[in-house]
């Protein structure tokens, strides 16, 4: 089998849970994690005789997203539709969605394409719909029973459908991460795949290179992380190429990703063989958007990740790579911006933030930055002025991040100031010389690079407090060089 003879074609359908206080068609709270069925009313319980009312904020969020995704068309009139199917978590027996007349059409999103290049991925449509409830399967004494929690029923979802423009699992991952970042910058969704507030169905097919017609696709569901989307796609592409290479045919079907065994499994039975019998929702008027409102919302769009990265490259002289790393998480890029205002050396600040800072940030769970820009600026200054070594600087950063303490105070209380004084260093230097006779010999006989090793040993023994430059000088003079 020759994989190179084939290319894969991928299109993503993304559902984003919108961060509104109340549901899409009633006033119930969207809050997560409360007592089951505590956020319900006759509307989201699907009682007969009630009428849905559209949440203005939901429409506002969807318009802002459509603008941010450069949608060429946000029609002045869109229509809600009933999508009919039976499932116990859907009390009405239909989901209110949009079908033939979605909220927005023909947008795009740029992904990296090698070097400094970017490639445009088409966006087919953006539309609104309501979420369904959740089934909870009983355990212990309740095993065998299932329960319905309707807190999530009616939570607003925005669906963003891409064109089949993506060509590799990595591109699909890039597209998803970038889309998530845009939604987070806009403040419309928290972008967390792990928590289900961002969900992705991945459609994939393969074809021989050079062919233009699309192959038969399968649809992958149930991937709850960016990494899993990439893994599931890679596995499925392999499977399809193997089939086609053997002269067999890919069957159009929906597959579920099993993250524990890293395989895709066909969905049971005919669950997916739906005929949704869509028709316009008679309980809601068509959604009419006044142009003045759309124009007003245009002004509310903040600086988006792409623009921010461009600014970092253009105005602050960062590399494209560093700029992209910084803008991936909004709180981090904001923190970087603020720190540069206080300590106007962008490249230096970027090195600190993309290095040690990011490591600690993610180790501490991400989210809002738990440190002030002033404190990072103080640490960088102390290192620059030689008051502490770079190594100690990293340690102070970690402590200051974890407990919010003033970096100068940490240095003072723990006696971390850099030591350059000969009398304080000479003891450690002599110890290292005594403990490393082989390395000392090699250095003496001309192997210059051993100086680095010996300096490193002194740094370790001094717990990072020794001034490395001074240690190097003292080592040389001690060893008669
Ligand atoms: P369906 O009606 O099965 O939902 P759509 O035409 O609405 O299919 O497309 C759903 C998603 O699948 C879109 O993101 C689209 O880009 C993608 N897609 C459609 N056809 C293919 C194909 N042959 N290979 C890969 N992706 C595809
Ligand atoms: Mg589909
Ligand atoms: Zn309700």
Q: How far apart are CA 192 and CA 170, in angstroms?
A: 19
Most confident of 103-107, 252-256, 266-270, 385-389: 103-107
Full residue range of the structural domain in which residue 387 is found: 305-414
Task: Write the residue with the smallest CA distance to atom 22 of ligand 1.
Answer: 217
Q: Tokens for 416, please give them.
A: 């971390």
Span 265-282, pLDDT tens digits: 888 655 555 789 999 999
Pocket test for ligand 1, best of 9, 14, 121, 164 (most atoms within 8 A of CB): 164
Same domain, yes or no: 179 and 154: yes
pLDDT in tens, 379-419: 999 999 888 888 889 999 999 999 888 998 988 888 777 77
Residue 1: is its pLDDT beyond 70? no
What does the DSSP 8-state code read for residue 419? B
Any residues with CB less than 8 A from the CB of 144 and at least 6 apart, and which? 138
| Cβ atoms 395, 417 nearer than 8 A | no
Region of residue 46 (phi > 0: left; psi between -120 and 50: alpha; otherwise: beta) = left
Location of structure tokens 């009390």:
91
The pLDDT assigned to 48 comes to: 93
Per-residue confidence (pLDDT) for residue 374, from 0 to 100: 95
Residue nearest to atom 13 of ligand 1 (CA): 11
How many domains is the chain built from? 3
Asked whether the predicted pLDDT for residue 259 surpasses 90, the reply is no
Average pLDDT value for the chain:
92
Alpha carbon of 167 to ligand 1 centroid (Å): 14
Query: What residues flank ion ligand 3 with Cβ within 5 A?
Result: 26, 28, 41, 43-44
Query: What whole-number distance in Å separates Cα of residue 142 and Cα of residue 127?
Result: 39
Number of H helices, E strands in the chain: 16, 15
Domain boundary among 278, 296, 314: 296
CB 182 within 8 Å of CB 197: no
Which whole number is the average pLDDT over 37-60?
96
Establish how many alpha carbons lie within 13 A of residue 338's alpha carbon, considering only the half-sphere containing its beta carbon: 13
CA–CA gap between residue 397 and residue 380 (Å, rounded): 9
Instruction: Output the CA–CA distances (angstroms, integers) from residue 236 to 249, 255, 290, 413, in the order listed.
Output: 14, 9, 44, 57
Give percent of the chain above pLDDT 90. 73
CA distance 228 to 235: 10
Distance between CA atoms of 130 and 133, rounded to whole angstroms? 10
The residues that bridge with 134 in the sheet, in sequence order, are 149
Q: Describe the chain by its helix, strand, coil percentages, rounded to 5.
A: 40, 20, 40
Residues 343, 442, single domain; the answer is no
Domain boundary among 364, 385, 414: 414
Ligand nearest, relative to CA of residue 11: 1
Nearest ligand 1 atom to alpha carbon 216: 23
**Mean pLDDT of all residues in 218-240:** 94
Q: Are residues 199 and 273 in the same domain?
A: yes
Q: What's the CATH number where 429 sits?
A: 1.10.10.410
Instruction: Determine the Cα–Cα distance for residues 154 and 95; give it in Å rounded to an integer.
Output: 9
What is the CA(51)–ligand 3 centre distance, in A?
A: 11
* CB-based burial, 16-54: b 16+ in 10 Å, e otherwise: bbbbbebbbbbebebeeeeeeeebbeebbbbeeebebeb
From 215, 217, 255, give the residue whose CB has the most ligand 1 atoms within 8 Å, as the site to mutate.
Answer: 217
Express each pLDDT in 335-376 by its tens digit.
999 999 999 999 999 999 999 999 999 999 888 898 999 999
**Dihedral angle over CA of 177, 179, 182, 183, nearest 10:** -110
Measure the CA–CA gap between 314 and 162, rounded to whole angstroms: 30
In angstroms, what is the span from residue 90 Cα to ligand 3's centroid? Answer: 13
Domain boundary among 296, 329, 358: 296
* Tokens describing residue 87: 């499932």
Please report the pLDDT score of residue 283 as a whole number: 96
Torsion of CA 164, 220, 102, 62, to 10 degrees: -100
Distance 72 CA to ligand 2 centre (A): 22
Q: What is the pLDDT of residue 148?
A: 96
Any idea which of 13-17, 71-75, 117-121, 235-239 has the lowest mean pLDDT? 117-121
Shared-domain flag, residues 242 and 103: yes
Atom of ligand 1 nearest to the CA of 204: 25
Strand partners, 149: 134
Q: Which residues contact 319 (CB under 8 A, 6 or more apart)?
A: 313
- Does 458 share its domain with 431? yes
Least confident residue range of 67-71, 317-321, 421-425:
421-425
Which mutation among 107, 200, 203, 207 tests ligand 1's pocket best, with the greatest number of atoms within 8 A of CB?
203
Ligand nearest to the CA of 125: 1
Structure tokens at 428: 């450690």
Kindly tell me if the per-residue pLDDT of 72 is higher than 80. Answer: yes
More confident residue, 480 or 250: 250
CA 13 to ligand 2 center in whole angstroms: 7
For the CA of 233, the nearest ligand: 1
Residue nearest to atom 11 of ligand 1 (CA): 11
State pLDDT tens for residues 43-53. 999 999 999 99
Residues framing ligand 1 (Cβ under 6 A): 9-13, 161-164, 203-205, 214-215, 217
| Domain shared by 67 and 210, yes or no | yes
Which ligand 1 atom is at minimum distance from the Cα of 12?
A: 14
Distance of CA 117 to the CA centre of its chain: 21
Note whether 81 and 159 are within 8 A (CB). no
Residues 182 and 41 in one domain: yes
pLDDT tens track for 129-147: 999 999 999 899 989 999 9
Q: How far is it, in rounded angstroms, from Cα 411 to Cα 405?
A: 10
User: In percent, how much of the chain has pLDDT > 70?
Assistant: 98
The CA 290 to ligand 1 mean position distance, Å, reads: 31
Tell which wins on pLDDT, 424 or 393: 393
- Between the CA of 43 and the centroid of ligand 3 the distance, in Å, is 5
* Same domain as 175, residue 137: yes
- Say if residue 428 is in the same domain as residue 291: no
Return the ligand 1 atom nearest residue 214 CA: 23
Nearest CA to ligand 1 atom 14: 11
Do residues 190 and 257 both lie within one domain? yes
Radius of gyration from C-alpha coordinates of the chain: 29
- Do 282 and 405 share a structural domain? no
Q: If you measure from the C-alpha of residue 36 to the centroid of ligand 3, how many angstroms do you get, rounded to a whole number?
A: 13
Q: How far is the CA of 136 from the centre of ligand 3 (A)?
A: 20
Do 38 and 124 fall within a single domain?
yes
Residue 200 CA, ligand 2 centroid: distance in Å: 11
Tell me what pLDDT residue 2 has. Answer: 56
Q: What is the pLDDT of residues 459-474, one digit of tens each?
A: 888 887 788 888 888 8
The answer, yes or no, to whether residue 481 has pLDDT greater than 80, is no
Global confidence as pTM: 0.85
């Amino acid at each position: 089998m020759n994989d190179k003879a084939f290319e894969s074609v991928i299109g993503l359908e993304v559902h984003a849970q919108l961060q509104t206080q109340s549901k899409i068609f009633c006033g119930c709270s969207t809050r997560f994690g409360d007592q089951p069925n505590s956020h319900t009313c006759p509307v989201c319980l699907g009682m007969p005789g009630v009428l849905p009312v559209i949440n203005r904020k939901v429409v506002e969020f969807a318009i802002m997203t459509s603008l941010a995704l450069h949608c060429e068309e946000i029609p002045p009139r869109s229509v809600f539709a009933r999508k009919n199917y039976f499932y116990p978590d859907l009390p009405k027996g239909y989901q209110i969605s949009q079908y033939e007349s979605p909220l927005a059409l023909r947008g795009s999103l740029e992904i990296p394409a090698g070097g400094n290049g970017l490639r445009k991925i088409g966006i087919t449509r953006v539309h609104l719909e309501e979420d369904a409830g959740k089934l909870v399967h009983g355990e212990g004494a309740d095993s065998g029973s299932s329960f319905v929690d309707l807190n999530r029923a009616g939570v607003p979802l925005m669906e963003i459908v891409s064109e089949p423009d993506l060509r590799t699992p990595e591109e699909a991952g890039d597209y998803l991460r970038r889309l998530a970042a845009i939604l987070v910058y806009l403040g419309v969704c928290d972008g967390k795949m792990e928590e289900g507030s961002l969900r992705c169905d991945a459609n994939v097919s393969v074809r021989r290179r050079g062919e233009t017609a699309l192959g038969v696709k399968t649809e992958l569901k149930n991937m709850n992380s960016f990494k899993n989307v990439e893994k599931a796609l890679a596995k499925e592409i392999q499977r399809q190429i193997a089939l086609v290479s053997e002269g067999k045919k890919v069957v159009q079907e929906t597959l579920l990703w099993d993250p524990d065994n890293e395989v895709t499994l066909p969905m049971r039975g005919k669950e997916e063989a739906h005929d949704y019998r869509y028709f316009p929702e008679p309980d809601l008027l068509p959604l009419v958007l006044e142009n003045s409102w759309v124009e007003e919302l245009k002004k509310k769009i903040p600086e988006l990740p792409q623009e921010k990265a461009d600014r970092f490259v253009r105005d602050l002289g960062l590399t494209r790579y560093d700029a992209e790393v910084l803008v991936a998480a909004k709180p981090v890029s904001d923190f970087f911006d603020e720190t540069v205002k206080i300590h106007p050396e962008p490249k230096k600040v970027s090195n600190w933030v993309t290095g040690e800072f990011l490591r600690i940030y993610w180790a501490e769970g991400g989210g809002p930055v738990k440190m002030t820009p002033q404190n990072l600026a103080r640490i960088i200054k102390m290192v620059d002025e030689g008051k502490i070594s770079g190594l100690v600087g990293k340690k102070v950063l970690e402590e200051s991040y974890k407990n919010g303490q003033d970096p100068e105070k940490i240095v003072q209380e723990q006696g971390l100031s850099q030591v350059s004084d000969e009398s304080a260093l000479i003891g450690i230097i002599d110890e290292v010389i005594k403990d490393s006779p082989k390395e000392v010999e090699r250095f003496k006989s001309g192997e210059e690079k051993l100086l680095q090793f010996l300096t490193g040993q002194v740094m370790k023994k001094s717990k990072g407090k020794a001034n490395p430059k001074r240690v190097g000088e003292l080592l040389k003079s001690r060893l008669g060089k």
